[in-house]
Amino acid sequence: MKADEITWVKSPEFGVMDQIFLPAIFTGLVTTLTHMGSTLFGPKKDVVTQQFPEQRPHLPANYRGVHRLNRDDEGRVKCVACYMCSTACPAHCIDIVAAPSPWPDREKYPEVFVIDELRCIYCGMCEQACPVDAIELTTLYDLTGHSREEMIFNKEKLLSVFDKTVAMGTDPIRTTHGRLGVASEPASSGVTGSSSMQT
Amino acid sequence: MSLEFSLLITVALILAVLGCLNGGVAYLILVERKISAWVQDRVGPNRAFYGILQPICDGVKLLLKEEMIPKYVDKIFFMIAPAIALITAFMALAVVPFGPTSPSPILIDYRQNSPTYELAVWPSTKSEYDAVIDADRSRALEKKSVSFEEQIKVYNSRIQFVLAPHVDIGILFVFAIGSLGVYGVILGGWSSNNKYSLLGSLRSSAQLISYEIPLGLSVLGVVLVTGSLNLERIIQHQVDHGWNVLFQPLAMVLFATSIFAECNRLPFDLPESEQELVGGYHTEYSSMKFALFLFGEYTHMITTSFLMMTVFFGAWHLPFITDPNDFSIFGIALKFAVAAGKTIGFIIFYMLIRWTILRFRFDQLMHLAWKIMLPISLASFTVLVFIVHFKPIGQESIWLMCPVSLAILLASGFIGIRLSKPTAHATKSKVPYLGHGTGYSVQHDSKIRLESSSR
Ligand code: SF4
Ligand code: SF4
């Protein structure tokens, strides 16, 4: 940055009117009252409140809600049980048991994949760590359950979250953005081939 | 012949006031939430019958909620702190007029030839008293005026809408009890055995004590002009001579500011400041004890609003609308409405100010009280004393206070600017001031130097 690009802004001088506070307070009151008036009598769209249970918010695609385990084109779980996510997880809430893969295109697959959604802090580290973009955080936010056990999501449940979000058309930003991680790109680019390339 | 005291009416009034207060406080919380919402472009509470039943739901919730008393608190003080907060808030309301009142008649001693003077000491013996009354009666006959006895009779026949009528230390009582309220806060914070609560309550005690001074000084002017501490007399004086706010606008501003501080309202809510202190002195309180603190606070707000309109805005008096001599049901209702309207106006003003001004830092708070408000109130009081005593432009010289107030305010502004200008030493310093946070990687080119040296 060049010196002449810098614009120095001086803090405004304190005048008598500011020093005696009252005119400044009056100006502030006018602002306050304007807002109050526009909420009370102005157009409805100025009001920012969303009436939650009736009115569902449209969350941005990069919202970090409940996890999902992605499926590949053949509907198999995409995860290769590399343990990257559980290593990255600061809350230690991902539990994976790897098993030899029944499919020829990869060595391992997760026999058990469990996320404790109550321990999770929804930081999104797992999403970033995954080399094949198998784990993603969706925009589902209203996560409730009747017991703690219910909130421990296993592989089937995480896959069902994938099905649900795909059906709802609320894919997370990585998927909708069209550019997933290197591992998801075609094999011709020299990286580990995805299953779709082998068939 | 003396002032009568009717137990029935007093009990009825106390019950009515407490009832209205309970409902009023509950709904004030709703109003506060609604106004906050509107100012912030929100809708606010609108469940439970459009929010109208919200206070009742809140009350039921607070009553039924589990009461938690942490193990490490000082149990006795922890229990009595909310009670003190509430009791003092209620007690201060005892002398504050909330409806039409008239001051009790004054017995004047006419036994002396001249000049007449108010009876300084009530006659100690029956014969002395009779002599005073006789003198008064014969003078009334002579002048065709109303004698003291008749005035008393009229006075006794009217209901005074204040819990404790003709308390001659009226306003002093309010301040005395009001400053006792700080014990609730201090005990609450201290007994909680928690550093945030303690910090909040310590700040609170310093703040309340500091703001008592400008508060008292600003009212002193009114007391001086009226010649009485009795709130009913202060009202009567305003009915006769015009509202005090017309003569002493500066005192009114100082009074309002101090009241904000006394009530822990937002620009001065350092005892609570939930962003810094979790919740201040009531962090450890739950359920109904917490509600009692809240209650005390809002009661305080109502009391001070009443006081504000009584002392500076003529209470139930509104020119051309309320007739001071109208004691029919309709007249009383009208006066009630005027008084209530003024009070509600102040409360709404409180709530709007909350979203207008930012919270002061603690040193700024002390600075404001001791270095700004105290000198201003002292100066304006001194000028008032001179004006009242010497009457430079005759009987109406009290009007002089209006321009004087403005002059004092402006002068304080100019002095403030002079004091906040950097000193000659600071401006000549070799290191140019480049704004905050530019302590490193400073580029010394001409433009920067030009800007900074112009400071
Ligand atoms: S979002 Fe963060 S805390 Fe939750 S599972 Fe992923 S890495 Fe762990
Ligand atoms: S990082 Fe991705 S591929 Fe590796 S175990 Fe986790 S979800 Fe599976």
| CB of A114 sitting under 6 A from ligand 2 | no
Partners of residue A22 in chain B, C-beta under 8 Å: 253, 409
Ligand nearest the Cα atom of residue A121: 1
> Is A124 touching ligand 1 by the criterion CB < 6 Å?
yes
Which of B38, B409, B443 lies closest to A3 in CB terms?
A: B443
Angle at B393 between CA B390 and CA B396, to 5 degrees: 95
Q: Do A29 and B42 touch (CB under 8 A)?
A: no
Q: Is A123 in the pocket of ligand 1 (CB under 6 A)?
A: yes
Q: What residues pair up with A116 in beta bridges, in sequence order?
A: A152
Mean pLDDT score of chain A: 81
- Chain A residues at the B interface, defined by Cβ less than 8 Å, are 3-4, 6, 8-11, 14-17, 19-20, 22, 25, 28-29, 31-33, 35-36, 38-40, 46-49, 51
Contacts of B435 in chain A (CB under 8 A): 8-11
- Cα dihedral B251, B257, B260, B261 sign: negative
Tokens of B72: 């490490």
Residue A134 in contact with residue A71, Cβ under 8 Å?
Answer: no
Residues 6+ apart with CB under 8 A from A128: A88
Is residue A90's pLDDT more than 90? yes
Model confidence over A3-62: pLDDT tens digits?
778 888 777 777 777 777 888 888 889 989 988 888 888 777 778 888 888 888 888 888
Q: How many CB pairs under 8 A join A and B?
A: 81
Q: Which fold has domain A67-184?
A: Alpha-Beta Plaits (3.30.70)
More confident residue, B422 or B151: B151
Mean per-residue pLDDT, B343-370: 86
How far is residue A52's CA from residue B353's CA, in Å, rounded to a whole number? 29
What is the atom index within ligand 1 of the atom nearest the CA of A137? Answer: 1
Q: Kindly tell me if the per-residue pLDDT of B114 is higher than 50.
A: no
| C-beta atoms of B435 and A8 within 8 A | yes
Q: Which residue, judged by its Cα, is nearest atom 6 of ligand 2?
A: A85
Instruction: Take residue B58 and report the two structure tokens written for it.
Output: 């809140």
Segment B192-214 shows an average pLDDT of 84
Residue nearest to atom 3 of ligand 1 (CA): A120
* Binding site membership of A125 for ligand 1 (Cβ less than 6 Å): yes
- Cis amide leading into B375 (omega within 30): no
**DSSP secondary structure letter of residue B358:** P
- pLDDT tens digits for range A132-167: 888 888 888 888 889 998 889 999 999 998 888 888
Q: How far is the CA of A133 from the centre of ligand 2 (A)?
A: 8
Residue B96 tokens read as 């504050």
- Per-residue confidence at B66, pLDDT binned at 50, 70, 90? confident
CB contact under 8 A, B410 and A20: yes
Put simply, the answer to whether B420 touches A14 (Cβ < 8 Å) is yes
Q: Where are the domains of chain A?
A: 67-184
Q: Provide the β-strand partners of residue A68.
A: A136
**Mean pLDDT, residues B223-228 taken together:** 86
The first and second tokens of residue B391, run together, are 């009457």
Res. B117 pLDDT band, cuts 50 70 90: low
Residue nearest to atom 2 of ligand 1 (CA): A123
ipTM > 0.85? no
Q: How far is B247 from chain A (nearest CA, A)?
A: 18
Cα angle B123, B124, B128; round to 5? 55
Q: Say yes or no: CB of residue A93 within 6 Å of ligand 2.
A: no
Which residue does chain A place closest to B433, by CA atoms? A10
User: Which of A69, A123, A158, A161 to mutate for ligand 1's pocket (most ligand atoms within 8 Å of CB)?
Assistant: A123
Q: Which two tokens stand for residue A156?
A: 């089937």
Report the phi/psi class of residue A92: left, alpha or beta, with left for phi > 0 and alpha for psi in -120 to 50: left
Encode pLDDT of B234-288 as tens digits.
Answer: 888 888 888 888 888 888 889 998 888 888 877 787 767 666 776 777 888 888 8
Dihedral of CA atoms B270, B273, B279, B281 in degrees, nearest 10, equals 0
The verdict on a CB contact (< 8 Å) between B352 and A36 is yes
Is pLDDT larger for residue B84 or for residue B133? B84
Q: Which of A162-176, A185-199, B332-346 has the highest mean pLDDT?
A: B332-346
- pTM > 0.90: no
Q: What is the pLDDT of residue A114?
A: 93
Is A120 touching ligand 1 by the criterion CB < 6 Å?
Answer: yes
B280-295 burial, b for 16+ CB within 10 Å, e for fewer?
Answer: bbbbbbbbebbbbbbb
* Residue A62 CA, ligand 1 centroid: distance in Å: 15
- For residue B240, give how far its alpha carbon lies from the nearest alpha carbon of chain A (Å): 30
Q: Does B14 touch chain A (CB under 8 A)?
A: no
A196-to-A110, B146, B253, B349 alpha-carbon distances in Å: 19, 109, 77, 68
- Residue B445 predicted with pLDDT over 50: no
What type of residue is B183?
A: Y
